[in-house]
Amino acid sequence: MTGQRTRTIDRGEQAELSRLLAAGPFDVALRAAIRARGLGLERIRYRLRGRGTTVSLATLSHWQSGRCRPERPESLEALRNLEDILNVPDGSLSKLLGPPRRTRFHALN
């Protein structure tokens, strides 16, 4: 036994996930991928940690709610691992991020 939980998703849910992975937005696609995989945020965090990536539950929650998004190099590496854990195509979530947002610091300079 691998301890890996699997979940079967229906065709409609798969079609919706595919549409969201193609068009976004990032937070909605991430939420749909997490739901389709059937893993809780704590379990995702545990699996990321097993790959040497530390992400807080708050960060994962903020990413899926749209309050913030991965932008730092460490966060983008975590996102690559997250795509694998969620069984979505490589780069499918990353491409939805678009260009980095301007921070307040950059706007002041």
What sections of the chain are H helices per DSSP? 11-23, 26-37, 41-50, 57-65, 73-85, 104-108
pLDDT digits (tens, 9 = 90+) for 9-68: 778 888 999 999 999 999 999 999 999 999 999 999 999 999 999 999 999 999 999 999
pLDDT digits (tens, 9 = 90+) for 81-99: 999 999 999 999 999 998 8
**Considering the entire predicted model, what is its pTM?**
0.82
Contact 43, 49 (CB under 8 A): no
Instruction: Count other Cβ atoms within 10 Å, centred on residue 92.
Output: 17
Does residue 25 have a cis peptide bond before it, meaning omega lies within 30 degrees of 0? yes
